[in-house]
Structure 1
Amino acid sequence: MATEENAIRKHDLDHYASRLAPSPTGLLHLGHAATFWTAYQRALEQDGTLLLRNEDLDPQRSKQQYVDAMIEDLAWLGIAWTPPMVVQSERIPLYREAFERLLASGHAYACTCSRRELAQMVAAPHEDADDEPVYTGRCRPAEGAVPQSLAPGMNYRFRVPDGDVVRFVDCNLGPQSFTAGGDFGDFLIWRKDGLPSYQLACVVDDAAMQITEVVRGADLLKSTARQILLQRALGLPAVQYFHTPLLRDERGMRLAKRHDALAIRTLRNKGLAPGDVLCMFGA
């Protein structure tokens, strides 16, 4: 395992740095390629650094074969990144330290709701099927309650400041605003299996890697609002955001790993050249 000192290349605060952050739970597809190409081009334009982060915090679905494939596919597309690769599964102590700080400061609390109970609490359908439902606050402690102690085998949520409007200017999509407690509720930050949520791990890593701009799909705009709240609670520096439009299929469904026919590896095996793939999303 690489040490913390050499696992992340340090950057000057005024140096542009972005990252690619795929999860090795399937093959990279055309939607990934479009977003990653944008990130690569923005790093080139800024004479900046582009890092690669392997978000392998799903132990059941993460596979080494997908890690190998994503590295090969990025190289095939001509997307260059600065090594070494950051591996999230090697960084659990960093996430745990941040989580314990949130718990001690009263920003986090234990949630005993089962998956079935959570599903029954959904009050209305949400536009983004991948988004976390707005939590009803069933397990939320009263205002001013004594911060909880860490208990193993529990899920923990971040307590959002109800009514606060989180505003940011996206470098691509312009001004954005989301209301805590309305657009999203208290969200999971630590899982009962001893692993961080996507939201917490992302914030901790972006700060440690000294990322100055996050380039990702527009489906994560609401996640950005959550992550800004985490940055504030942890005293971490703010970053800029550039959200890209989602690629969609002929039925209007956003491209995802279920679209095997549009996996970069599949397109390669069909004989397409990198330029052919780039033309498919207008690069």
Structure 2
Amino acid sequence: MSSANYIGRLAPSPTGLLHLGHAATFWTAYQRALEHHGTLLLRNEDLDPHRSKPEYVDAMIEDLAWLGIEWTPPILVQSQRLALYREAFARLLASGFAYPCTCSRRDLAQMVQAPHEEADDEPVYNGHCRPLVEASSTVIEPGVNYRFRVPDGETIRFTDRNLGPQNFIAGLDVGDFLIWRKDGLPSYQLACVVDDDSSRITEVVRGADLLKSTARQILLQRALNMQSPAHFHTHLLRDDRGVRLAKRYDALAIRSLRQQGLTAAEVLQLAARSLLQYE
């Protein structure tokens, strides 16, 4: 890849304070962009209307700047791009890749075929609502979830620039996944591929908990005739019990560490030391 063509991105969601794990991943993304003399963009993934808060947007911008991470403006805001997501969803629906799903949360909990893994955000769907024959449609039913029909048995392969070759089998490792929500908003998977494509992202740097999401997004990119970027998945930071850090760990939030008197360099050193034990 030509260094001049490198475009990376930071994509936090404003549903809580950024923590030490975010510092490690976002600093890696920043360093990758610097190494390639490329561009780094910032995307505000604010598509959760119940959990996204303006104060978290302000905090994440301030904390990233405090760490010394620089990006190229303007900040892309997902809630302002709904027309783009809807257009991509309509294309999937018209091509027969999407179908409506009326399963409730309770239904989904009862029909899980495999244990819900810590490093995955969506268990394999058992196909309860999947039509026997692919059918195209131009009608979007209101108040209904939609899923992407994966090509059962197909192996999705990609070589991660940090973790090496990755293989996932459609229908076994990743099932038909949510792409459009009944509240009229896109899923993370769909919004992510649309934004990465429109921003011409060449490399995605994010945590290893999203490896299966990468497989799902590659399938979406193929269906939408989009190029897939390269990927660099970072190891996850974990607590003393081996549980990966989440936004509920307020004591390890960047804001909390700042208030304790740590400098940006000390926070980054702490994150780097924590990562070493998993590499």
Q: Work out whether the TM-score is over 0.5.
A: yes
Picking from 222, 232, 240, the partner of 1:242 is 232
2:222 equivalent to 1:232: yes
Offset at residue 23 of structure 1 (A): 0.3
CA distance in 1, matches of 2:245, 2:149: 32
Deviation string 1:236-281 (CA, Å, 9 cap, x unpaired) is 1121000000001111010110110000000001111011101102
State TM-score, norm by structure 1: 0.93
Q: What does 1:19-168 correspond to in 2, within 5 Å?
A: 19-128=9-118, 130-147=120-137, 149-168=139-158
Is 2:146–2:178's contact at 8 Å kept on the other side of the alignment? yes
User: Secondary structure of the equivalent of 1:166?
Assistant: strand
**Residue 114 and residue 249 in structure 1: after superposition, are their counterparts in 2 closer, same or farther (change >3 A)?**
same
CA RMSD of aligned residues (A): 1.4
**Residue 157 and residue 14 in structure 1: after superposition, are their counterparts in 2 closer, same or farther (change >3 A)?**
farther
Aligned partner of 1:265 in structure 2 is 255
Is 2:8–2:40's contact at 8 Å kept on the other side of the alignment? yes
Offset at residue 133 of structure 1 (A): 1.1
Offset at residue 150 of structure 1 (A): 1.5
Amino acid at match of 1:168: F
User: Secondary structure of the equivalent of 1:282?
Assistant: helix
Aligned partner of 1:173 in structure 2 is 163
Is 1:257–1:263's contact at 8 Å kept on the other side of the alignment? yes
**Residue 129 and residue 236 in structure 1: after superposition, are their counterparts in 2 closer, same or farther (change >3 A)?**
closer
Consecutive unaligned residues of structure 2, counting only runs of 5 or more, are 274-279
Amino acid at match of 1:196: P
**Residue 144 and residue 192 in structure 1: after superposition, are their counterparts in 2 closer, same or farther (change >3 A)?**
closer
Aligned partner of 2:191 in structure 1 is 201
Equivalent pairs counted in the alignment come to 272
CA distance in 1, matches of 2:10, 2:108: 32
Deviation string 1:147-170 (CA, Å, 9 cap, x unpaired) is 463111110000000000000000
Deviation string 1:86-124 (CA, Å, 9 cap, x unpaired) is 000000000000000000000000001111001100123
CA distance in 2, matches of 1:142, 1:120: 22
Is 2:4–2:36's contact at 8 Å kept on the other side of the alignment? no
CA distance in 2, matches of 1:100, 1:14: 34
Deviation string 1:215-255 (CA, Å, 9 cap, x unpaired) is 00000000000000000000011210000000011110101
CA distance in 1, matches of 2:154, 2:259: 50
CA distance in 1, matches of 2:106, 2:23: 35
Deviation larger for 125-134 or 270-279: 125-134
Offset at residue 282 of structure 1 (A): 2.0
User: Secondary structure of the equivalent of 1:97?
Assistant: helix
Post-superposition, which runs of at least 4 consecutive aligned residues in structure 1 deviate over 3 A? Answer: 144-148
Percent identity between the two aligned chains: 74
Aligned partner of 2:212 in structure 1 is 222
**Residue 66 and residue 279 in structure 1: after superposition, are their counterparts in 2 closer, same or farther (change >3 A)?**
same
Offset at residue 131 of structure 1 (A): 2.2
State TM-score, norm by structure 2: 0.95
CA distance in 2, matches of 1:246, 1:110: 34
Offset at residue 201 of structure 1 (A): 0.1
CA distance in 2, matches of 1:92, 1:145: 25
